[in-house]
Amino acid sequence: MESSPIRKLYTRDDLFNLVEKIENKDLKNMVIDFINDPLPSHKDIEDTQISFEESPASIRWHHKYTGGLIEHTIAITDLALNMAKSLEDSYNLELNKDLIVAGGILHDMMKPQNYTLKDNNSNNNNQYDHISDFHLEHLTLMVAEMYKRNMPMELIKMVVSHHGEYGAMKPDSIEGWLLHYADNIDASLNDVAIKICNARARDMGIQEQDIYEAFTPLKIYELRSTIGKEKLKEYLKKYIDLNNEIGILEDTLKDLDNNSNTLNINDAKFLSNELRKYLNTLNKLRCQLNELNSNVNVVNYDELNECIKKMRNIVVNVDDSLKWDIYNKIDELKKELETVEWELELIILNYGLQKFEIDDNDNNEELYDYIYQKIIQHLTNLDEK
Ligand SMILES: [Fe+2]
Ligand SMILES: [Fe+2]
Protein backbone atom coordinates (compact mmCIF):
# COMPACT_ATOMS: atom_id res chain seq x y z
CA MET A 1 0.00 0.00 0.00
CA GLU A 2 1.50 3.32 -1.08
CA SER A 3 0.00 6.34 0.61
CA SER A 4 2.40 9.21 -0.09
CA PRO A 5 0.41 12.10 -1.53
CA ILE A 6 3.34 13.09 -3.73
CA ARG A 7 3.34 12.05 -7.36
CA LYS A 8 5.53 9.12 -8.34
CA LEU A 9 7.49 9.91 -11.48
CA TYR A 10 7.57 6.76 -13.62
CA THR A 11 10.60 5.83 -15.67
CA ARG A 12 11.45 3.33 -18.41
CA ASP A 13 12.34 0.88 -15.64
CA ASP A 14 8.69 0.79 -14.64
CA LEU A 15 7.81 -0.04 -18.25
CA PHE A 16 10.39 -2.82 -18.31
CA ASN A 17 8.97 -4.20 -15.06
CA LEU A 18 5.57 -4.29 -16.70
CA VAL A 19 6.99 -6.05 -19.76
CA GLU A 20 8.17 -8.83 -17.46
CA LYS A 21 4.54 -9.88 -17.11
CA ILE A 22 4.50 -11.00 -20.75
CA GLU A 23 5.11 -14.75 -20.76
CA ASN A 24 5.58 -15.28 -24.48
CA LYS A 25 9.28 -14.59 -25.09
CA ASP A 26 8.94 -13.47 -28.73
CA LEU A 27 6.20 -11.02 -27.89
CA LYS A 28 8.12 -9.77 -24.89
CA ASN A 29 11.21 -9.10 -27.01
CA MET A 30 9.19 -7.28 -29.65
CA VAL A 31 7.73 -4.96 -27.01
CA ILE A 32 11.17 -4.40 -25.48
CA ASP A 33 12.53 -3.51 -28.94
CA PHE A 34 9.70 -1.03 -29.38
CA ILE A 35 10.41 0.67 -26.06
CA ASN A 36 14.09 0.91 -26.94
CA ASP A 37 13.43 2.18 -30.44
CA PRO A 38 9.99 3.81 -30.62
CA LEU A 39 10.65 6.13 -33.57
CA PRO A 40 8.65 5.66 -36.79
CA SER A 41 10.96 4.44 -39.52
CA HIS A 42 9.47 6.54 -42.35
CA LYS A 43 12.09 8.88 -43.79
CA ASP A 44 9.83 11.95 -43.68
CA ILE A 45 9.01 11.72 -40.02
CA GLU A 46 11.43 13.68 -37.90
CA ASP A 47 12.16 12.89 -34.30
CA THR A 48 10.36 15.42 -32.10
CA GLN A 49 12.96 14.87 -29.38
CA ILE A 50 10.24 14.25 -26.82
CA SER A 51 10.83 11.01 -25.01
CA PHE A 52 8.10 8.62 -23.95
CA GLU A 53 9.01 9.31 -20.31
CA GLU A 54 8.55 13.07 -20.53
CA SER A 55 5.67 13.22 -23.02
CA PRO A 56 2.17 14.28 -21.97
CA ALA A 57 -0.72 12.06 -23.11
CA SER A 58 -2.61 14.99 -24.63
CA ILE A 59 -2.18 18.72 -25.12
CA ARG A 60 -5.32 20.02 -23.48
CA TRP A 61 -7.10 17.07 -21.90
CA HIS A 62 -6.14 14.05 -19.86
CA HIS A 63 -2.58 13.67 -18.50
CA LYS A 64 -1.59 16.92 -20.19
CA TYR A 65 1.57 17.34 -18.15
CA THR A 66 5.19 16.18 -18.36
CA GLY A 67 5.33 12.46 -17.61
CA GLY A 68 1.59 12.09 -18.21
CA LEU A 69 1.88 9.55 -21.03
CA ILE A 70 3.91 6.99 -19.14
CA GLU A 71 1.63 7.43 -16.11
CA HIS A 72 -1.43 6.80 -18.31
CA THR A 73 0.25 3.81 -19.98
CA ILE A 74 1.05 2.13 -16.69
CA ALA A 75 -2.38 2.91 -15.24
CA ILE A 76 -4.41 1.52 -18.15
CA THR A 77 -2.32 -1.63 -18.47
CA ASP A 78 -2.78 -2.37 -14.80
CA LEU A 79 -6.46 -1.48 -14.96
CA ALA A 80 -7.11 -3.73 -17.97
CA LEU A 81 -5.21 -6.59 -16.34
CA ASN A 82 -7.23 -6.34 -13.15
CA MET A 83 -10.49 -6.17 -15.06
CA ALA A 84 -9.40 -9.27 -17.00
CA LYS A 85 -8.72 -11.12 -13.76
CA SER A 86 -12.14 -10.21 -12.39
CA LEU A 87 -13.88 -11.39 -15.54
CA GLU A 88 -11.89 -14.60 -15.56
CA ASP A 89 -13.04 -15.31 -12.01
CA SER A 90 -16.66 -14.39 -12.59
CA TYR A 91 -17.15 -16.13 -15.93
CA ASN A 92 -14.54 -18.84 -15.83
CA LEU A 93 -12.57 -17.43 -18.77
CA GLU A 94 -8.96 -17.75 -19.93
CA LEU A 95 -8.03 -14.36 -21.30
CA ASN A 96 -4.77 -13.59 -23.06
CA LYS A 97 -3.01 -11.39 -20.55
CA ASP A 98 0.14 -11.18 -22.67
CA LEU A 99 -1.87 -9.33 -25.30
CA ILE A 100 -3.34 -7.00 -22.71
CA VAL A 101 0.07 -6.03 -21.33
CA ALA A 102 1.62 -5.62 -24.79
CA GLY A 103 -1.41 -3.69 -26.07
CA GLY A 104 -1.47 -1.46 -22.99
CA ILE A 105 2.19 -0.57 -23.26
CA LEU A 106 2.09 0.06 -27.00
CA HIS A 107 -1.33 1.66 -27.45
CA ASP A 108 -0.21 5.34 -27.30
CA MET A 109 3.48 4.81 -27.99
CA MET A 110 3.48 7.17 -31.01
CA LYS A 111 1.97 10.16 -29.25
CA PRO A 112 5.33 11.89 -28.57
CA GLN A 113 5.92 11.91 -32.35
CA ASN A 114 3.16 14.50 -32.70
CA TYR A 115 4.11 16.83 -29.86
CA THR A 116 6.56 19.64 -29.52
CA LEU A 117 7.79 21.72 -26.61
CA LYS A 118 6.61 25.31 -26.94
CA ASP A 119 9.38 27.81 -27.54
CA ASN A 120 7.76 30.59 -25.68
CA ASN A 121 6.65 29.11 -22.43
CA SER A 122 5.44 32.30 -20.80
CA ASN A 123 2.14 30.66 -19.96
CA ASN A 124 3.33 27.46 -18.42
CA ASN A 125 -0.20 26.06 -18.20
CA ASN A 126 0.47 24.56 -21.59
CA GLN A 127 4.06 23.52 -22.14
CA TYR A 128 3.41 21.36 -25.19
CA ASP A 129 1.73 21.77 -28.54
CA HIS A 130 1.04 19.68 -31.65
CA ILE A 131 3.86 19.77 -34.19
CA SER A 132 3.18 22.32 -36.89
CA ASP A 133 3.80 19.95 -39.77
CA PHE A 134 1.34 17.26 -38.78
CA HIS A 135 1.78 13.90 -40.49
CA LEU A 136 -0.32 11.02 -39.15
CA GLU A 137 -2.10 10.66 -35.81
CA HIS A 138 -0.75 8.24 -33.22
CA LEU A 139 -2.95 5.26 -34.12
CA THR A 140 -2.14 5.24 -37.82
CA LEU A 141 1.54 5.78 -37.13
CA MET A 142 1.54 2.87 -34.72
CA VAL A 143 -0.29 0.47 -37.00
CA ALA A 144 2.06 1.26 -39.88
CA GLU A 145 5.06 0.66 -37.69
CA MET A 146 3.67 -2.56 -36.23
CA TYR A 147 3.04 -3.85 -39.74
CA LYS A 148 6.56 -3.04 -40.71
CA ARG A 149 7.91 -4.84 -37.67
CA ASN A 150 5.75 -7.91 -38.36
CA MET A 151 4.02 -7.86 -35.02
CA PRO A 152 1.21 -10.37 -34.34
CA MET A 153 -2.01 -9.42 -36.15
CA GLU A 154 -4.18 -9.84 -33.04
CA LEU A 155 -2.00 -7.27 -31.23
CA ILE A 156 -2.18 -4.86 -34.18
CA LYS A 157 -5.96 -5.20 -34.15
CA MET A 158 -6.07 -4.45 -30.43
CA VAL A 159 -3.98 -1.31 -30.78
CA VAL A 160 -5.85 -0.04 -33.85
CA SER A 161 -9.22 -0.50 -32.15
CA HIS A 162 -8.35 0.95 -28.74
CA HIS A 163 -10.57 3.98 -29.32
CA GLY A 164 -13.50 1.55 -29.33
CA GLU A 165 -16.78 2.77 -30.71
CA TYR A 166 -15.15 6.14 -31.60
CA GLY A 167 -12.34 4.62 -33.63
CA ALA A 168 -11.93 3.51 -37.23
CA MET A 169 -12.43 -0.09 -36.17
CA LYS A 170 -14.13 -1.65 -33.18
CA PRO A 171 -12.30 -4.24 -31.05
CA ASP A 172 -13.10 -7.82 -31.93
CA SER A 173 -11.93 -9.54 -28.75
CA ILE A 174 -12.69 -9.28 -25.04
CA GLU A 175 -9.07 -8.25 -24.51
CA GLY A 176 -9.50 -5.47 -27.08
CA TRP A 177 -12.63 -4.15 -25.40
CA LEU A 178 -10.96 -4.28 -21.99
CA LEU A 179 -8.04 -2.23 -23.31
CA HIS A 180 -10.47 0.31 -24.77
CA TYR A 181 -12.54 0.58 -21.58
CA ALA A 182 -9.43 0.84 -19.40
CA ASP A 183 -8.16 3.62 -21.68
CA ASN A 184 -11.51 5.34 -21.45
CA ILE A 185 -11.77 5.08 -17.67
CA ASP A 186 -8.29 6.41 -17.03
CA ALA A 187 -8.55 9.23 -19.56
CA SER A 188 -12.05 10.32 -18.51
CA LEU A 189 -11.30 10.25 -14.80
CA ASN A 190 -8.13 12.22 -15.32
CA ASP A 191 -10.10 14.75 -17.32
CA VAL A 192 -12.57 15.24 -14.50
CA ALA A 193 -9.74 15.66 -12.01
CA ILE A 194 -7.90 18.08 -14.28
CA LYS A 195 -10.95 20.36 -14.25
CA ILE A 196 -10.71 20.46 -10.45
CA CYS A 197 -7.00 21.29 -10.59
CA ASN A 198 -7.71 23.95 -13.16
CA ALA A 199 -10.31 25.56 -10.89
CA ARG A 200 -8.00 25.46 -7.82
CA ALA A 201 -5.12 26.90 -9.82
CA ARG A 202 -7.35 29.71 -11.01
CA ASP A 203 -8.70 30.66 -7.61
CA MET A 204 -5.25 30.46 -6.02
CA GLY A 205 -3.57 32.41 -8.83
CA ILE A 206 -1.01 29.68 -9.44
CA GLN A 207 0.04 27.77 -12.56
CA GLU A 208 -1.69 24.44 -13.13
CA GLN A 209 1.65 22.88 -14.04
CA ASP A 210 3.00 23.69 -10.57
CA ILE A 211 0.32 21.40 -9.15
CA TYR A 212 1.15 18.52 -11.49
CA GLU A 213 4.83 18.74 -10.65
CA ALA A 214 4.01 17.40 -7.23
CA PHE A 215 0.56 15.79 -7.42
CA THR A 216 -1.43 13.78 -9.91
CA PRO A 217 -4.85 15.25 -10.74
CA LEU A 218 -6.46 12.17 -9.18
CA LYS A 219 -4.59 12.75 -5.92
CA ILE A 220 -5.91 16.32 -5.87
CA TYR A 221 -9.42 14.99 -6.48
CA GLU A 222 -9.03 12.50 -3.65
CA LEU A 223 -7.65 15.16 -1.31
CA ARG A 224 -10.51 17.48 -2.10
CA SER A 225 -13.00 14.74 -1.25
CA THR A 226 -11.23 13.85 1.98
CA ILE A 227 -9.87 17.06 3.48
CA GLY A 228 -12.13 19.60 1.74
CA LYS A 229 -11.50 22.46 -0.60
CA GLU A 230 -10.16 25.01 1.89
CA LYS A 231 -7.65 22.74 3.55
CA LEU A 232 -6.53 21.48 0.16
CA LYS A 233 -5.83 25.05 -0.93
CA GLU A 234 -3.89 25.73 2.25
CA TYR A 235 -1.65 22.68 1.74
CA LEU A 236 -1.22 23.25 -1.96
CA LYS A 237 -0.11 26.80 -1.30
CA LYS A 238 2.37 25.76 1.38
CA TYR A 239 3.73 23.01 -0.81
CA ILE A 240 4.05 25.03 -3.99
CA ASP A 241 5.59 28.06 -2.22
CA LEU A 242 8.23 25.86 -0.59
CA ASN A 243 8.90 24.06 -3.84
CA ASN A 244 9.29 27.33 -5.73
CA GLU A 245 11.61 28.76 -3.10
CA ILE A 246 13.80 25.66 -3.29
CA GLY A 247 13.82 25.97 -7.09
CA ILE A 248 14.96 29.62 -6.93
CA LEU A 249 17.72 28.81 -4.45
CA GLU A 250 18.94 25.87 -6.50
CA ASP A 251 18.99 28.04 -9.63
CA THR A 252 20.94 30.69 -7.75
CA LEU A 253 23.54 28.13 -6.72
CA LYS A 254 23.85 27.04 -10.33
CA ASP A 255 24.24 30.69 -11.42
CA LEU A 256 26.95 31.19 -8.85
CA ASP A 257 28.88 28.20 -10.11
CA ASN A 258 28.58 29.38 -13.70
CA ASN A 259 29.32 33.07 -13.12
CA SER A 260 32.36 32.94 -10.86
CA ASN A 261 30.51 33.67 -7.65
CA THR A 262 28.81 36.89 -8.64
CA LEU A 263 25.14 37.76 -8.55
CA ASN A 264 23.11 40.74 -9.57
CA ILE A 265 21.88 42.42 -6.41
CA ASN A 266 18.27 41.77 -7.39
CA ASP A 267 18.90 38.02 -7.47
CA ALA A 268 20.95 38.20 -4.31
CA LYS A 269 18.49 40.14 -2.17
CA PHE A 270 17.25 37.06 -0.31
CA LEU A 271 20.78 36.37 0.89
CA SER A 272 20.80 39.00 3.58
CA ASN A 273 18.59 41.53 5.29
CA GLU A 274 21.14 44.25 4.54
CA LEU A 275 20.81 43.74 0.80
CA ARG A 276 17.05 43.78 1.08
CA LYS A 277 17.16 47.00 3.10
CA TYR A 278 19.53 48.51 0.56
CA LEU A 279 17.11 47.78 -2.29
CA ASN A 280 14.15 49.09 -0.29
CA THR A 281 16.01 52.31 0.42
CA LEU A 282 16.71 52.74 -3.27
CA ASN A 283 13.05 52.16 -4.06
CA LYS A 284 12.01 54.78 -1.54
CA LEU A 285 14.59 57.18 -2.90
CA ARG A 286 13.21 56.75 -6.40
CA CYS A 287 9.65 57.39 -5.19
CA GLN A 288 10.72 60.51 -3.32
CA LEU A 289 12.61 61.78 -6.32
CA ASN A 290 9.54 61.27 -8.53
CA GLU A 291 7.28 62.98 -6.04
CA LEU A 292 9.66 65.87 -5.69
CA ASN A 293 9.90 66.17 -9.44
CA SER A 294 6.14 66.35 -9.81
CA ASN A 295 6.03 69.31 -7.37
CA VAL A 296 9.13 71.21 -8.36
CA ASN A 297 11.12 70.62 -11.46
CA VAL A 298 14.34 68.89 -10.35
CA VAL A 299 17.08 70.17 -12.63
CA ASN A 300 19.23 67.06 -12.70
CA TYR A 301 16.31 64.59 -12.47
CA ASP A 302 17.51 62.37 -15.33
CA GLU A 303 20.99 62.19 -13.93
CA LEU A 304 19.73 61.23 -10.47
CA ASN A 305 17.33 58.69 -11.88
CA GLU A 306 20.11 57.08 -13.86
CA CYS A 307 22.25 56.99 -10.78
CA ILE A 308 19.57 55.14 -8.79
CA LYS A 309 19.14 52.70 -11.67
CA LYS A 310 22.85 51.96 -11.65
CA MET A 311 22.80 51.43 -7.92
CA ARG A 312 19.98 48.90 -8.33
CA ASN A 313 22.01 46.95 -10.84
CA ILE A 314 25.26 46.40 -9.02
CA VAL A 315 26.86 42.98 -8.92
CA VAL A 316 27.77 41.46 -5.58
CA ASN A 317 30.42 38.94 -4.81
CA VAL A 318 29.18 35.86 -2.99
CA ASP A 319 31.78 34.06 -0.93
CA ASP A 320 31.79 30.37 -0.02
CA SER A 321 30.30 30.87 3.40
CA LEU A 322 27.26 32.48 1.81
CA LYS A 323 27.03 29.59 -0.60
CA TRP A 324 26.95 27.27 2.37
CA ASP A 325 24.14 29.35 3.82
CA ILE A 326 22.17 28.70 0.63
CA TYR A 327 22.90 24.97 0.82
CA ASN A 328 21.70 24.91 4.39
CA LYS A 329 18.62 26.94 3.59
CA ILE A 330 17.71 24.48 0.81
CA ASP A 331 18.15 21.63 3.26
CA GLU A 332 15.95 23.35 5.80
CA LEU A 333 13.23 24.03 3.22
CA LYS A 334 13.33 20.44 2.00
CA LYS A 335 12.71 19.27 5.55
CA GLU A 336 9.80 21.66 5.83
CA LEU A 337 8.47 20.26 2.56
CA GLU A 338 8.67 16.76 3.97
CA THR A 339 6.74 17.86 7.02
CA VAL A 340 3.97 19.18 4.79
CA GLU A 341 3.94 15.84 2.91
CA TRP A 342 3.84 14.01 6.20
CA GLU A 343 1.01 16.15 7.54
CA LEU A 344 -0.98 15.49 4.38
CA GLU A 345 -0.32 11.79 4.66
CA LEU A 346 -1.48 11.82 8.28
CA ILE A 347 -4.67 13.63 7.37
CA ILE A 348 -5.41 11.01 4.73
CA LEU A 349 -4.68 8.16 7.16
CA ASN A 350 -6.84 9.80 9.78
CA TYR A 351 -9.67 10.13 7.31
CA GLY A 352 -9.25 6.45 6.49
CA LEU A 353 -9.47 5.56 10.16
CA GLN A 354 -12.67 7.53 10.64
CA LYS A 355 -14.18 5.89 7.63
CA PHE A 356 -13.35 2.43 8.92
CA GLU A 357 -15.14 3.24 12.22
CA ILE A 358 -12.68 1.13 14.13
CA ASP A 359 -14.26 -1.11 16.70
CA ASP A 360 -12.35 -3.66 18.70
CA ASN A 361 -14.23 -6.65 17.43
CA ASP A 362 -13.27 -5.91 13.90
CA ASN A 363 -10.11 -7.29 12.49
CA ASN A 364 -8.21 -4.10 11.79
CA GLU A 365 -4.79 -5.47 12.53
CA GLU A 366 -3.59 -4.87 9.02
CA LEU A 367 -4.56 -1.23 9.16
CA TYR A 368 -3.01 -0.72 12.62
CA ASP A 369 0.12 -2.43 11.41
CA TYR A 370 0.31 -0.23 8.38
CA ILE A 371 -0.09 2.98 10.37
CA TYR A 372 2.42 1.77 12.94
CA GLN A 373 4.95 1.04 10.21
CA LYS A 374 4.38 4.43 8.65
CA ILE A 375 4.96 6.25 11.94
CA ILE A 376 8.14 4.24 12.67
CA GLN A 377 9.36 4.93 9.15
CA HIS A 378 8.76 8.64 9.57
CA LEU A 379 10.51 8.76 12.95
CA THR A 380 13.54 6.86 11.62
CA ASN A 381 13.72 9.27 8.71
CA LEU A 382 13.74 12.19 11.12
CA ASP A 383 16.40 10.49 13.21
CA GLU A 384 18.70 10.01 10.27
CA LYS A 385 18.68 13.70 9.41
FE1 LIG B 1 -5.02 6.59 -27.99
FE1 LIG C 1 -4.61 6.12 -24.26
Q: Residues 225-235: pLDDT tens digits? A: 888 888 888 88
Largest CA distance in the chain: 95
CB atoms within 10 A of CB 115: 23
Cα 249 versus chain centre, distance:
21
Which has more confidence, 110 or 123? 110
Percent of the chain exceeding pLDDT 70 equals: 92
Residues 259/267, Cβ–Cβ less than 8 Å:
no
Ligand 2 centroid – CA 214 distance (Å):
22
Instruction: With cut-offs at 50, 70 and 90, classify the pLDDT of residue 135.
Output: confident
CA distance 131 to 318: 43
Q: Residues 322-356: pLDDT tens digits? A: 888 888 999 999 999 988 888 888 877 777 777 66
Region 279-294: mean pLDDT is 90
Residues 101/81, Cβ–Cβ less than 8 Å:
yes
Ligand 1 centroid – CA 376 distance (Å):
43
Ligand 2 centroid – CA 220 distance (Å):
21
Ligand 2 centroid – CA 283 distance (Å):
53
Name 29's Cβ contacts closer than 8 Å, sequence gap at least 6: none
Ligand 2 centroid – CA 124 distance (Å):
24
Q: What pTM was computed for the model?
A: 0.78
Ligand 1 centroid – CA 157 distance (Å):
13
Structural domain spans, the chain: 12-207, 262-317
DSSP 117: E
DSSP characters over 150-173: T--HHHHHHHHTTTGGGSSS---S
Query: Which architecture does CATH list for 12-207?
Result: Orthogonal Bundle (1.10)
CA distance 376 to 160: 49
The pLDDT value recorded for residue 1 is: 45
